[in-house]
Structure 1
Amino acid sequence: MKKYNYATLLLIALIAGCASDSDKQSKFDSELYDGRPVETFSTDAAPLTETEAIKRGDYALRQNNSDLALYEYIRSLEFPDSQYSDKTLYTIGRIHQSRGNYELAERAYLLALEHNPNNVQVLEQLGSNYSKQGKVDEGRSYFLRAINADQLRLSSRLKLDDDASVSEIEALSSDNLSPASAYMGLGILDDVKAQHEVAQAFYKHALRIQPKSSKALMNMGYSHYMSGNYTDATRFTLAALEQEPDNEKALNNLALIYLAKGETQRALNVFMRRMDAPEALNNVGYFLMLQGKPEKAIPYLQQAIDKKTSYYKIANENLERALAEVRAKTPEKAEMMSQ
């Protein structure tokens, strides 16, 4: 039988240890990783459980070390009986999305659904991402799936179809954990299709979940504006501005509503809250043109030019467009205005 001295045994142990560490390292799945080389991490011994790995990832994320967080989260997925893989993959997706790596984010979200097809957060996020990418059908599909998964979570027997009525939307269950963004997303998609009543039912439900959501209030206000209900449009838009007084989009919407109501001076005052007079006058003229009132736009565009001639090339272009539109309607009147 072979005999080994102490030095030889120590060397064998060290080699075995290195091989063991190498094996552990080789198990790391880099498919969802895009940070600095993992060899640079000076971590403690490998995590013994999924929960331990997740806690390490959470700590790294709180320390703004997203590379290490990704590394730990991905290691948590390696445990055979993992219970939180869908939630971890959602977090991995959010990290990639915050970095602008949408391809890896999408991959993580889709893998999460393989573990749990009814993960509401993942479904809602995919709906939002696809909608923003212009993939409207996919976005709508995931928004609907998110709401239906939420109904299952709430033990509701209701299911939302693509052609749901206002009463069916109003009957859905929800709580403060329900996917408000999915309701808003569907509302926006229906507003684009001029189905304003259905859109407003979705916004109403979103506001039931998040009563102070400036985005939901603003979308509700704009939906009423598009349907010609200027009273409610004003009410909801002002409510949105109570939550976010400097929200540029909400201010623009409020000015549009005032112009539609014929309250031009109030619209001008809204614009002047965040810009100088020439730009505000140009905006009034521009939006009046968009509303099919080029003859009313002309005086405001002329004032914008008079106040800042050297700068306001855009006002001159808008004035030419307004005159052309008026000329197309009433040639004689346009000729008098241009003199």
Structure 2
Amino acid sequence: MTPKQQLLIACVALALLLGGCASTAQQQAGSDPYASLGNGGSSVEYGTAFPVASPEEAYRNGNAALRAGDPDRALFEYLRGLRMEKRPQANPLYRVGIIHHGRGNHDLAEKAYRWALEIDADHAGAGTALGIALLEQRDFEGARQHLEPLVTRGKAPWQAYNALGVIADMSGEHGLAQSHFEKALDVAPGTPLVLNNLGYSRYLGGDWAGARQSLRRAVSANPNYELAWRNLGLVYARQGDHETAIEAVARNGDRAKAYNDIGYISMLEGRYMDAMGFFQEAMRLSPAYYVTASENARNLDSLLRRNGADRLE
């Protein structure tokens, strides 16, 4: 057998292991455009154990693996399907991005999302996911540039409206934020995350009654939603209903933490006497919170001394 024949056989064997029929040139080292989107692990066992005949079959396997909680297999299947295509496809690239995003591989996720959008600029999933990724990096303007066109085209999923609402709140535009959250709820009624965000936005805007209503809907939809319970506690505390605030924040049974948290919020809001009482109760209830609460109390005492007097609201 000649060296050329040996090389041809080796290339065919590699293509079979990868389960694809793409050109051998793409599979050779240094020429695989998808290599940088892999997980760095061996995929030979997947290729031999789960042969496929088409990209569509690989993508179905990827979807099934994701549903089964196996992102390694899913990532392999999506990349295998892409390697079998004549040209890149937006949707599997978007799903590759989702896997990397969930793992905290932000650069790889962003690369996959942007590649998907180069192929299909109207891909709502990739546009939304990239916008959310940029929002997490506090690139508010970049996030807005990807999310707002989806809203304009009427193709925005609820996550896009929700992300735009968060951006607006961060900019102090609470009315605009609430409009986005309401539209998100039109798309996905009763979503606890959006109800929580709407309630907190109303809290920031000083609409205590509206905030309480939205947050109560959030905890009704998900009774284990700790952040929504905490935000509901903030609203009650701001309205002076301290005992109900404590009950809301202490849903997990940690009343000392609840007293400390409500005390800290009271201090930030300038209700210093209330804050001191909460810190003292936290110290009384739990030695575990003695250090934290006593430090907060000392900081509060120092603040009062610098200002020369307490202020009640």
1:31 and 2:23 equivalent?
no
What is the aligned partner in structure 1 of residue 12 from structure 2?
20
Change beyond 3 A, Cα 1:71–1:297: closer
What is the aligned partner in structure 1 of residue 165 from structure 2?
187
What is the aligned partner in structure 1 of residue 293 from structure 2?
315
Three-state SS of the structure 1 residue aligned to 2:79 is helix
Q: Which residue of 73, 78, 100 corresponds with 1:73?
A: 78
Change beyond 3 A, Cα 1:39–1:25: farther
What is the aligned partner in structure 2 of residue 112 from structure 1?
116
Higher-Rg member (1/2):
1
Q: Which residue of 234, 247, 250 corresponds with 1:269?
A: 247
1:52 shift after superposition: 3.5
Amino acid across the alignment from 1:110 = R
Deviations 1:201-230 (A, max 9, x none): 111101101111111111111111111111
Note the 1:79-158 alignment, pairs <5 A. 85-149=89-153, 151=154
Unaligned runs of 5+ in 1: 1-7, 154-177, 335-339
1:205 and 2:183 equivalent?
yes
Unaligned runs of 5+ in 2: 16-22
Q: Partners of 2:70 and 2:246 in 1: how far apart?
A: 47
Q: Partners of 1:52 and 1:251 in 2: how far apart?
A: 44
What is the aligned partner in structure 1 of residue 198 from structure 2?
220
TM-score by length of structure 2 reads 0.83
Q: Is the 8 A contact 1:86 1:112 kept in 2?
A: yes
Three-state SS of the structure 2 residue aligned to 1:27 is helix
1:57 shift after superposition: 3.5
Deviations 1:63-114 (A, max 9, x none): 65544443332243345655x8111111111122233322222111111111
Three-state SS of the structure 1 residue aligned to 2:48 is coil
Q: Partners of 2:104 and 2:43 in 1: how far apart?
A: 21
Q: Partners of 2:256 and 2:62 in 1: how far apart?
A: 52
Change beyond 3 A, Cα 1:88–1:329: same
Q: Which residue of 228, 244, 247 corresponds with 1:250?
A: 228
Q: Is the 8 A contact 1:35 1:67 kept in 2?
A: no
Three-state SS of the structure 2 residue aligned to 1:77 is helix
What is the aligned partner in structure 2 of residue 42 from structure 1?
48
What is the aligned partner in structure 1 of residue 20 from structure 2?
none
Q: Is the 8 A contact 2:256 2:289 kept in 1?
A: no
Amino acid across the alignment from 1:50 = P
Q: Is the 8 A contact 1:70 1:92 kept in 2?
A: yes
Q: Is the 8 A contact 2:259 2:278 kept in 1?
A: yes
1:187 shift after superposition: 0.9
Change beyond 3 A, Cα 1:146–1:329: same
What is the aligned partner in structure 1 of residue 59 from structure 2?
54
Change beyond 3 A, Cα 1:210–1:36: same
Q: Which residue of 259, 274, 281 corresponds with 1:296?
A: 274
Farther off after superposition, 137-146 or 19-28: 19-28
1:286 shift after superposition: 1.4
Deviations 1:158-180 (A, max 9, x none): xxxxxxxxxxxxxxxxxxxx411
Deviations 1:11-43 (A, max 9, x none): x99985445345755523223222423444315
Change beyond 3 A, Cα 1:237–1:16: closer
Q: Partners of 2:224 and 2:139 in 1: how far apart?
A: 31
Amino acid across the alignment from 1:73 = Y
- Identity rate of aligned residues, in percent? 28
Change beyond 3 A, Cα 1:190–1:66: closer
